[in-house]
Chain A
């Protein structure tokens, strides 16, 4: 078990393109850290630099207090689960899991004991004598994890381990990984492009964009107090809506109407010609279904519903809005960068499943304005981010984690 510190890590490829640019990140002992971002953001490269499969151009990689830049992968005592599992097809499941132990020349008896233990944890008992080719995707995934946990490694590394599984199995394995990590209490770095995995698994999440860190925080802080447009758009599904607006004296004028910002936010924003107002889909509601107690905290407006999607437990409505060409182009760039494929300027609105809103008709909506963020469209910066509230959320998450690690260690 060990902490991982990255100090000003840079990775440049032969053509001088920086895949990872000046990344500094501290991962505490026992912490579950997620590296997340759209494809090409450098998350896998960063992970491979931790494990030593990729050279570090400059900066220091410190694991357990020792600088490991020049150490070979085998001298770093880390274990890694690869995206395609990388099981050894010529060896049985037992020998696959035992492989790291065999390389250490562990005595046969010890090997048998540790492999059996790992197989117990992962419920692989009846498959130990089979070859990987005869296993299902989920079983292969578990064998790959068995190979990682059989040896007492300092850090676990996962490189998009669930991306080859179907949706149902992915959910199961996600829970499995979370349970395993809590139980073993070993520092874990997990790379994914799936924000559900990022939100559910991580103690803290590091959002990367083009090789730069955008924000490192607990999932709750990322969701409620995003640092910029990129993080706000990346975290959350359906994503946050960005509406163009003008602000004068804290009064926000946006395509669906006007509302007043509270004092703190009004001061932070000032007067601006053009801003982007970030509203999560669930801040909206069908106006006829809003509690009277809540109604004063928001603003009501009417708009034409383009399409509705009823999912049983929830319902989404799509409301188109007009925006200048400049804003449209910018939103399109942003969505392209986030790997999403939103083509129209429209707001996605989550309304009560009981609502009988009709497509193509005007309907009355209500929008909760308390948690709305205001972004600078030029720099993407979140003007209304509340640092204290964010820090508090992450502090709470850290407390939770420390309690869990404590519990895991006391059990051993």
Chain B
């Protein structure tokens, strides 16, 4: 690569990074601005302040934000764990067994994945209120499974299909039961797939807004994205922009940490899935 080409690549790369990171930088900057500073027309705050953070973590808004954070973590982790476990079995069956209706299951899963959330929300709202799931954790975990399961089944079955069948047959000849072969050979081999699936599922659940705002009414189950929409300013005439920005920064942090930890596995996983299956 010539020097000129390299310079071009570097310049283009920096431009793209700036473009992608600008909104995030803006939110971070907003979260450090005092209310009077918000519309100062500058990118950086004139006075650097932790006011917004203390507002949502210890101040007035903390009653709204902290339970929501707990709800979000709890609900999303449970939904992810369930989705991984269920999709692992489902995907294994789809990859290994030949049973009638296999294609139907896969296409139904795809159908569910592309089904608009907004069209399910109203019937769910009515149903949940009647059977007492409204404003509870299970009341959100169940619809979140409908978001996470289809994509989990698809990614996992792509991973399982890549594992040569001989691995399992070898284990069986070596004296393993089907369950032992699954647990000792297939699951460890599919570990990157499980991680990838878990992260995708977690993001899907973590980012949901429509279910969160529609199927909850109190801090008992309301997740963060819904809670952000309910923030109010110090007075009726003041937008809670700074507080929302601070909360947005806080909910982004776990996602960034997750990605950093599993980065290599995700990249390997995503390309694996892309090449085959």
Q: Which residues of A approach B to under 8 Å, CB–CB? A: 51-53, 72-74, 78-80, 82-84, 86, 88-90, 99-100, 103-104, 147, 151
Contact = CB atoms under 8 A, between A and B. Distances in A.
Interface stretch (B75-83, B173-181, B227-235): B173-181
B171 interface: yes
Interface residues of B, number: 17
A88 B185 contact: yes
Nearest to A88: B185
A73 B173 contact: yes
Given A86-B167, A103-B180, A80 B173 contact: yes
Given A84-B164, A89-B189, A147-B174, A53 B180 contact: no
Given A86-B164, A86-B166, A103-B180, A74 B185 contact: no
B277 interface: no
Contacts of A100: 174-175
Contact of A74 (B167, B176, B188, B191): B176
Contacts of B174: 74, 79, 99-100, 103, 147, 151
A73 B172 CA distance: 6
Contact of B175 (A53, A83, A86, A104): A104
A83 B167 CA distance: 11
Contacts of A53: 169, 172-173
Interface in B171-218: 171-177, 180, 185, 188-189, 191
A103 B189 CA distance: 18
B74 to A, nearest CB: 32
A83 B164 CA distance: 12
- The 10 lowest CB-CB distance pairs between A and B, nearest first, are A86-B170, A86-B166, A100-B174, A90-B188, A103-B175, A74-B175, A73-B172, A80-B173, A73-B173, A82-B166
A80 B191 CA distance: 26
A80 B170 contact: yes
Nearest to B163: A89
Nearest to A75: B175
Contacts of A90: 188-189, 191
Given A89-B189, A90-B188, A90-B189, A99 B171 contact: yes
15 contacts: A52-B173, A53-B172, A73-B172, A74-B173, A74-B175, A74-B177, A82-B166, A88-B167, A88-B171, A89-B189, A100-B175, A103-B175, A104-B175, A151-B174, A151-B175
Q: Which of B164, B167, B175, B191 has the most CB of A within 10 A?
A: B175
A98 to B, nearest CB: 10
A51 B173 contact: yes
Contacts of A80: 170, 173
Nearest to B170: A86
Contacts of B176: 74, 103
Contacts of B167: 86, 88
A84 B166 contact: yes
B269 to A, nearest CB: 15
B213 to A, nearest CB: 43
Q: Which of B173, B177, B188 has the most CB of A within 10 A?
A: B173
A74 B174 CA distance: 6
Given A74-B172, A74-B175, A79-B173, 8 more contacts: A80-B170, A83-B166, A86-B169, A86-B170, A88-B171, A88-B188, A90-B191, A103-B174
Contacts of A147: 170, 174
Nearest to A83: B166
A388 B267 CA distance: 68
Given A100-B174, A103-B174, A73 B185 contact: no
A100 B188 CA distance: 17
A51 B171 CA distance: 12
A52 B185 CA distance: 19
A72 B180 CA distance: 14
A151 B173 CA distance: 12
A276 B167 CA distance: 47
Contacts of A79: 173-174
Nearest to B168: A86
B169 A82 contact: yes
A83 B171 CA distance: 15
B83 to A, nearest CB: 24
B1 to A, nearest CB: 31
A53 B165 CA distance: 11
A78 B173 contact: yes
A99 B177 CA distance: 13
Given A88-B185, A89-B189, A72 B166 contact: no
Interface in B33-88: none
Contacts of B188: 88, 90
Contacts of B177: 74
A301 to B, nearest CB: 53
A90 B191 CA distance: 10
A82 B170 CA distance: 8
Contacts of A78: 173
Nearest to B176: A103
Nearest to A100: B174
A29 to B, nearest CB: 20
Contacts of A103: 174-176, 180
A51 B172 CA distance: 10
A381 to B, nearest CB: 39
